[in-house]
Chain A
């Protein structure tokens, strides 16, 4: 005979406002099997948990039902308390009388009756609960970091400094990401390259970090502590082991006029190239689309001039498999463009700004490259159309961002600050020029951020105009900006030499595909979702996968670095134990009933179902049945629903328990 303890929580007033908790406790006490029933103001508080523990011992309880909030909120809390009270944690169930009852009802009488029903169902269910022993799985103490921008670099360095091996995978030929493209950084105006490149070199030299550049994630299998990741190393056409990085191949390559993506396509590069001189690794890549050898089969100059014989036209894509225990995703961001978008795309371009066809209308990142000492103009601000120094420069904020009509309703967070920085860089380089900024709001929350913005106006003479620009058009060699100043309430017209647009921050292209490979969730913009916006901001809902940087949402550098270190700390916490305990809510196969159809194997999202041979003592094969690997099983229950012979059951959610609940109604 079970002795069930029922604890009804007031949740302050959240529950007791609409549910008569005392009456629920009195009614439930009458149910068969219930040995104890009470109500308490805050069950989750320390005294509440102590009450739970004490009652288990005093009343020799065998099962516990806590009627309070959603199990998502506090199931772990109460199961821990039950365990401390001396029971198996899985003999505790929660009845959700907050989200499912008090919050959604107004009538006290009806809500109370419903609460009694809900608690009654859980009482019947908990009677059928079994003792479930915890499952332990081994942890591979190696981490994978996807994306080699500042977030990935920081996370990789932190984990590696702690003594664990790290595999850093980067899609581009060099690590560095967007931060390497920047000229100077707000709010201190220190040079981005100066603070970035030493970290890049640290990554390359770290004995614990294995760097795979020009590589992509092909396949991710396994689960927390035990991932198998297939990495595609794209054909570089240059042998990384032989190449010394002398750069002769690049000087001799006859294809010299290919737009360099790193310089936002305003600078030029050769077909065999490193994206920028400070690249890590300093090993060139052959761009096969533009290389004469790959197009016509002739040329091969780079191969002839290469001293160590590193150029290898025959190289092919290679797949390598790495075993890791944790994954940090730091794939970063991409910038919105005002260009025309394909039909049906939820994101739209800016026709009123010429769809990007006006040559002197550039985006913020292009301005960064113009202002950068290592950029295509050597740090001179020259406009793309005729190379003239712009004397009247207009910056426009919130391009794409906060524009529901264009398909993006979020704030890109960094634009206010980088535009203020741009006006300063411009003022430092073009003394007789004037910068104008059209803005809606200046959002500068951050240490020394507002001061920085005010400085651009008060000391660096930028003219900020509150109001948006309705149209841009070419007139002679000028770009006419038609805007408004809403503080004065008049239309404003400026004939500018160059216009810089602060375009929205968007997730990397293909972010959704990577998320599908990893089995993590993403929002409608394809930013990756964290497990909890406030309390678990660097973890994915999928165990063992962590987020860092702008792949989760627009972020500036300080925030990205903090999050990367936080993700690294989470990885180190995971690696601090040799074995990982996980919830025993897994599926089990009743081998007697299983006919070996393997419908469960087809539907399993985790790849947890294996085939198991059953043999008699002589070793004769009797039948092949399904076997669920408890280490891999995610406990989703799809197999249970699919099995035609009802031979799979999910522990904690057995048919018996569910039927008992229904019958209690």
Chain B
């Protein structure tokens, strides 16, 4: 990633966005004094271009675009090690959640991330079938992400072990599941949920 010079002013520091993150995650990014404990314990930090502490630092400076352009938030495994160990009670896992949600709403400025796509397809499957239909998830993901042959050779093995089913089976209480989805959608519109 190219390291662009940061020009800081009241205009370039988008603190409104940061406030949104703070409300959604119910935590304060200002509290962080950059001790680095979150990054020290993060199992995914080696895959991130911005380790967790830097994500918070960029938020403090209102530089959210730099975060959403990258893949850090999608690599977060939500293990909550950072939140558990933070000496300043910064709930970093919630911040990551909030950032993912805001990135989703903005239709993901992160083009690299297939995680977002995978999540979307995952939920679509649940909504349609009431449970996961892995075969369809894998097929649609490969098509939509343009990597048609990705993990193809794993298919037969998984089929043989019974981990992958050829045909889907529907949940009987599909209408109940639909209720959950529509309720969340309504709450989202009102801004009551992530």
Contact = CB atoms under 8 A, between A and B. Distances in A.
Interface of A: 391-392, 434, 436, 442, 454, 457-458, 461, 463, 465-466, 485, 487-495
Given A454-B33, A458-B30, A485-B61, A492 B54 contact: no
A392 B61 contact: no
A127 B150 CA distance: 98
Q: List 3 tightest A-B contacts by C-beta distance, closest first.
A: A487-B57, A491-B5, A458-B30
Given A463-B60, A489-B3, A490-B4, 13 more contacts: A434-B10, A434-B13, A458-B28, A458-B31, A463-B13, A463-B61, A487-B54, A488-B57, A488-B58, A490-B3, A491-B6, A494-B7, A494-B8
24 contacts: A392-B10, A434-B9, A454-B33, A458-B31, A461-B30, A463-B8, A465-B8, A465-B61, A485-B57, A487-B34, A487-B57, A488-B54, A488-B57, A488-B58, A488-B63, A489-B3, A489-B54, A490-B4, A490-B6, A491-B5, A491-B6, A492-B5, A492-B6, A492-B8
Interface residues of B, number: 21
Interface of B: 3-10, 13, 28, 30-31, 33-34, 53-54, 57-58, 60-61, 63
A466 B34 contact: yes
B33 A436 contact: no
A236 B18 CA distance: 60
A471 B33 CA distance: 25
B10 A493 contact: no
B6 A487 contact: no
A487 B13 CA distance: 16
Contacts of A489: 3, 54
Contact of A493 (B6, B53, B54, B61): B6
Contacts of B30: 457-458, 461
Contacts of A466: 34
B99 to A, nearest CB: 16
Contacts of B8: 436, 463, 465, 492-494
B136 to A, nearest CB: 41
A487 B5 contact: no
Contacts of A487: 34, 53-54, 57
Contacts of A494: 7-9
Nearest to A392: B9
A174 to B, nearest CB: 41
A476 to B, nearest CB: 14
Contacts of A458: 28, 30-31
A479 to B, nearest CB: 13
A491 B9 CA distance: 14
Contacts of B31: 454, 458
A488 B10 CA distance: 19
A413 B189 CA distance: 52
A465 B34 CA distance: 11
A488 B53 CA distance: 9
Nearest to B50: A488
Contacts of A461: 30
